[in-house]
Structure 1
């Protein structure tokens, strides 16, 4: 049994194997690379660890926490603060880190245990646009979580005062040629800005 299969059983990640297959093949609205799948799977492990510790989490928090634990650009102080918070929640961080998988482990699981063939590198325009839209949504969600976590940290350490609050992130795209402005979602849904409607000269 591969590492991924063993972890799916150990953490009772029902349906995750099927999701990995669908995301790699792009049979739904999204298609992930093997490296993206490894990150996604590791985030499922982090979420499962929170569930076992009976610790609730908000949308985007798992993705943000995983990035703070693994991204090389994260400062040691910030990472230490996240590690301390997880350990206080009763999460065995050393064991969890040892469970994280690589993209090669995902590839072995998909090809050897699920018999999935490598998908074509060619993607339709619509699937590529949807993948881009989903990447932007995940980035917005992570940004909201980062801002919220940092503000809460400053509040909890009495560095700032703030009541109950919400964080809004709005990505706008302005075209200097036709003078139109759309949200990123609107731009992708419309297939572009108003430049596409202008007659050729």
Structure 2
């Protein structure tokens, strides 16, 4: 997949115009900005867009795909779990049907291209996106802290069993604190993230 952008227009915009994909831009934006379970990720939308490109390629080759055909062929072409033999057979079948597989795969877009199209071309935004990133990073930090705690417990217990150290019943505490050097306030990292940053930022004092 290449996201190169000849000229000023982005790749997704060019492909929409080239293949007359009327309405797909509205659909992508609507699904990206939806709430709850109806919202689709950028990766899901990239797959949806690429399946539409595949559907058009099949129709251009005078192949009328049956229900589920497009999804299955796309899976064979792109899924990491598909064997090399199955992927090769799928490509050969498309070649026999006069589908230019190499060109089609070059047209496939990544989630970054979809994001660029939605944000820069359509001016779309997802209000919870910033919050989602913060929550994701907080969870990542918590997992790392849990791993440090687990490894420390294991190593201390091993040293104690081997009589390398003397230690009674113990409990490992792992804290991650953040000190704001501008105001001197110290936060637990979760509290800082939940607070949206340090209170001194943007203060008039």
TM-score (norm 1): 0.58
Distance 2:127 2:28 in 1: 13
Instruction: Report what 2:70 is aligned to.
Output: 62
State the Cα RMSD in Å. 1.9
Q: Figure out how many residues of one structure are paired with residues of the other and give that number.
A: 123
Distance 1:89 1:97 in 2: 16
**1:14/1:76 Cα in 2 relative to 1: closer, same or farther (>3 Å)?**
same
Matched, 1:91 2:99: yes
Distance 1:33 1:96 in 2: 23
Structure ID, larger Rg:
2
Q: CA deviation at 1:4?
A: 0.1
Matched, 1:12 2:3: no
Distance 1:47 1:105 in 2: 20
Distance 1:119 1:59 in 2: 35
**1:21/1:28 Cα in 2 relative to 1: closer, same or farther (>3 Å)?**
farther
Distance 1:34 1:109 in 2: 11
Instruction: Report what 1:2 is aligned to.
Output: 10
Q: CA deviation at 1:61?
A: 1.1
* Deviation beyond 3 Å, 4+ runs, structure 1: none
Equivalent runs, 1:42-121 vs 2, <5 Å: 42-120=50-128
Distance 2:80 2:99 in 1: 22
Equivalent runs, 1:133-172 vs 2, <5 Å: none
Distance 2:126 2:97 in 1: 39
